[in-house]
Amino acid sequence: MMRRLKIVVMLGGPSAEREVSLKTGRAAAQALAAKGHQVTEVDALPGQWKLPAGTEVVFLALHGTYGEDGEVQRELEALGVPYTGCSPAASALAFDKVLTKQKCRERGVPVARDHIFHNEGEPFPNDWQLPVVLKPVRQGSSVGLHFVTLPEQWAESLKSSLQHGSEVLMEERIEGRETTVGILDGKALPLVEMRPKKGGYTYANKYTPGATEYFCPASFSNSVSEKIQEAAVGAFNAVGGRDYARVDVMVRDDGSPVVLEVNTLPGMTETSLLPKAAAAIGLSYEDLCEKMVELAMKRAPNVQK
C-alpha cells in the first residue's frame, strides 16, 4: 500500500486539447482521492498557476502545448517537485512528429514515408500519389489531421492543417488496421485496435461517443502482436521515454507495423485507450493512476516511499 500523499493534478491549460485535459484530470483526481490521497486540482495556465504548500508529487493530466511539449515539465524540474511521465527533453522530442521519426529511423523503428510543408499554396509533390495524410508537426489528439484522397481536397486541407502550426507533415496513407500500444513502466501492454465506423481515426471519431469501436486485446496472432509491441517499445525508447506513454501504430495487411507517433501524456479518462490496455492485464483505473504516481515518487529526493 502506498502511503497517503499530497498530490496536485495539473489539468486544463492553454492548448487546443483543454477540454479533453479537463476530463482526464477530473477523472484522475477522483481516482487518486478514492485511493486515500489528498488531491488538489490546479488549472495549468502559464504564469498563473501555483502549487499548494506541501505538494509531494504532480500528476500531469495535460495534453498538447504546455503539457506534452516539455514546457510545464521544465518548470516543475526547477521547483524540484516530482511529476508523472516523461522528462522535458523526451516530451519535447516526442511532441515533434518529425524529430520523433528521425529518432525512430536511427533506431530501425519502422515509420511512414513523409514530406514537410511550411506554406499555404504549396503544390502536391509530383513524386507522390494520393491518398495521403496531413497533420501538424506539433499537435496531439488528431488536431488538424486531414485525409486527402482527391486532388481537389489538397489546397484546403493543407491550409487547414497549417492553422495549427508552422509546419505540416504529409505521410503516405497506410492501408491496414489502426492500433495503439500502451507502455507502462517501460513494458508494452496488450494492443488496442480502433475501428472508426466511418473514415479514419480523426479528432471527431476519437471523441464522438459511438463513432469508433475498440477491441482489446486486438485479434492479431502472437507473432504479429509481438512485432507491433516491439516497434512501439522501440519508439518509446528512441525518444527517451520513461514511466509510461502510448504509441500509435498502423499495421499493414501483411502484419508489418508502422509507428505513427508517441504520446507522452495520453488521455486518461476511464474510457481512454491506455486504461483500456491496463484493464486487460487486470489493472483497474484507480490502480493505474496510483502506479503512475508511484513511478514518479521514485524520483522524489529524501521522501519516504
Q: Which residue numbers are catalytic?
A: 17, 141, 207, 246, 248, 261, 263, 267
> What pairing do the DSSP bridges indicate for beta strands 176-184 and 212-215?
unpaired
Reported residue count of the chain is 305
Question: What letter would DSSP give residue 152?
Answer: G
Per the listing, cell 484493464 goes with: 279
Distance CA(52)–CA(47), nearest Å, equals: 15
Phi, psi of 42 (to 5 degrees): -130, 120
Do residues 109 and 238 make contact, with C-beta atoms less than 8 angstroms apart?
A: yes
SS3 content of the chain, % helix, strand, coil (to 5): 30, 25, 45
User: DSSP states of 245-304 as a string?
Assistant: EEEEEEEETTS-EEEEEEESS---STTSHHHHHHHTTT--HHHHHHHHHHHHHTT-TT--
What's the rounded Cα separation, in Å, for the pair 289 and 287?
Answer: 5
**Rounded to an integer, what distance in angstroms lies between the CA atom of residue 102 and that of residue 111?**
9
The C-alpha cell at 282 is 487486470
